[in-house]
Amino acid sequence: MLATRTRYVCQECGGAQSKWHGRCPSCEAWGSLVEEVVKAGGTRGRGEVTVPGARRPVALAEVEATRHDRLATGINEFDRVLGGGLVPGSIVLVGGDPGVGKSTLTTMALARLAHHHGVLMVCGEESPAQVRMRAERIGGAGRIGVVAETDLDIVCATLIAERPAVAVIDSVQTLWSSELSSAPGSVAQVREAAGRLMRVAKEHAITIILVGHVTKDGAVAGPRVLEHLVDAVLVFEGERTSELRVLRATKNRFGSTSEIGVFEMTGAGLGQVSDPSALLGRGDLGGPGSVVACSVEGSRPLLLEVQALVAPSELAMPRRLATGFDRNRLAMILAVLSRHAGIPVASADVFVNVAGGVSIEEPAADLAVAIAIASAARGAPTGPLVVFGELGLTGRLRIVAQAERRLREAQRLGLTHAIAPAGTAAVSGTSLRTAATIADALAIALPAGAP
């Protein structure tokens, strides 16, 4: 067995040190030294086993490509985000806020996969008894193998010995390697664990699902290399006060990153929401500051209620807060409204919320947010209508893709009045009015004489 040693490498300049320093002696950057493992007689690495001598390249045409069928978890919303199911030998990272339902989702997936495949749950944060209680609550405690272990060497040896089709590591931040002196959850330990598990998954065709923590900003905790090593990064979103949960992919080597899965937290686990538009778009729509936006996530159009509140500010710098919408884009929309539509919002507090705890990322929601803010500022209702369109800095509206699908979805739920950018094709049965600029759109949504 090759001897090992550790050293500390600066993430800013690459300088290596024999011991840890708070400040890098080479570039004087603070907190940039990270522990790494070096194998004696091999190249610098992070725990990888090196083979002496060169490797002979193989022509790509000579590589034997074995095609494996995806492993369907039986949870349609989960499979949709994955691109049709789990790919054998892949490694998937699932992140989310504490209590959002990451462990519940992965336990449900293992319970359904266990009917036809061998599965394993490696729990580092819970005891096997706690895992069984959760599994019994969702009705799937029968055939799931459980191992309570945090030692990385033992976990890898167990995976190789058992050879499950799917294994869940809950969570990757609890694993530790004896070759590193840093504490579990540190950058070095998380990187070492992810690298070792990735090699086990690829060499033995074991699908591994890593459950990861998130930072206070909502990003996956740990080094950025963690997201580069895995094949897919799934983020589980949801507000504590809401029953809705949204699963979206920020990286997927085997599918689209545009699809989302919608779940509803219940006492018996996560329930799938097959028609999220009917759930998210319900309620008293069309009041002052309320507009329905139609967003397309992958192959699924969603109707979402955008709410806005404009109130006089008592602060020198008025507040601009947004939930479920990008704050930088909100600032741009407010500037366009003030410059090109004459909506006085410079000295007012503006709050924007996407109802249901869902985030809108595509620019097609710009027009809906702008009309909702103008409606709230004037105190004028818009009535039940659907709005979509991208807003430019000049005040002009840009056509968005898949307009017909958006209008069909709104028509299915009884919303037949719509406002869209000029040039958008109409759909039979829908009253569509188009506008070239934000001023034209406001004139349609809030006609003269409205309060």
pLDDT digits (tens, 9 = 90+) for 98-117: 888 899 999 999 999 998 99
Which of 176, 157, 177 is CA-nearest to residue 167?
157
Q: Is the CATH number 3.40.50.720 carried by domain 278-445?
A: no
DSSP 3-state percent helix, strand, coil across the chain (nearest 5): 25, 30, 45
Please give the structure tokens belonging to residue 314: 């008592």
pLDDT digits (tens, 9 = 90+) for 377-391: 999 998 888 999 999
More confident residue, 217 or 146: 146
Q: How many C-beta atoms surround the C-beta of residue 347 within 10 A?
A: 10
Q: How many C-beta atoms surround the C-beta of residue 344 within 10 A?
A: 11
The CA-atom distances, in angstroms, between 165 and each of 116, 118, 251 are 10, 5, 22
- The answer to whether 318 and 350 are in contact (CB under 8 A) is yes
- Mean pLDDT confidence for 315-321: 92
Question: What secondary structure does DSSP assign to 85-125, as a single string?
Answer: SBPTT-EEEEEE-TTSSHHHHHHHHHHHHTTTS-EEEEESS
pLDDT digits (tens, 9 = 90+) for 347-378: 899 999 998 778 888 899 999 999 999 999 99
| Terminal alpha carbon distance of the chain | 80
Task: Enumerate long-range contacts of 251-257, CB under 8 Å, 24 or more apart.
Answer: 251/227, 252/81, 252/82, 252/83, 253/90, 254/82, 254/83, 254/87, 254/90, 255/81, 255/82, 255/83, 255/84, 256/83, 256/298
No. of H helices and E strands in the chain? 11, 21
Which of the four pLDDT bands, split at 50, 70 and 90, describes residue 44?
very low
Tell me what pLDDT residue 189 has: 87
pLDDT digits (tens, 9 = 90+) for 223-235: 677 888 899 999 9
- AA identity, residue 87: V
Cis, peptide link before residue 103, omega less than 30° from 0: no
User: What torsion, rounded to 10 degrees, do the Cα atoms 306, 310, 314, 315 define?
Assistant: 50
- pLDDT at residue 420 above 60? yes
- Domain 76-274 in this protein, CATH class: alpha beta
In the block, which residue shows the tokens 């599918």? 255
Which of the four pLDDT bands, split at 50, 70 and 90, describes residue 203?
very high
pTM over 0.85: no
Tell me what pLDDT residue 47 has: 45
Q: 361: which DSSP letter?
A: -
The CA-atom distances, in angstroms, between 280 and each of 15, 96, 242, 267, 359 are 52, 21, 11, 20, 12
